[in-house]
Structure 1
Amino acid sequence: MTVDPHVLARARARVLGGPSVPASDPVPPGTVAAADGARVWVLPVWPDGATPALLEEYDTAPMPLDRAGQARRVLAAALRCCWTRLDDAPWPGSPSTVADVLEVYAGMTRGDTDLARRWATGELRRLSETGWLLLDEASGAVRPGPRVALWPEGSLASLRDLLRRLPEPPARPGAGEGPGE
Structure 2
Amino acid sequence: MKNLLTLLFMIACFAVFNAQQSIVPSVKYEELEKRIQQEGDKLLVVNFWSTTCAPCVKELPHFMEVNNKHADNPKFKMLLVSLDRLVDKERVMKFIKNKNLTAEVILLDDIKRMNTWIPRFEKDWDGNIPVTLFYKNGEKIHFNDGEMSKEELENVIIKNLL
TM surpasses 0.5: no
Q: Decide which structure has greater strand share.
A: 2
Q: Scaled by the length of structure 2, what TM-score is found?
A: 0.31
Q: Scaled by the length of structure 1, what TM-score is found?
A: 0.29
Q: Decide which structure has greater helix share.
A: 2
Larger RCO, structure (CA 8 Å, separation 6 or more): 2
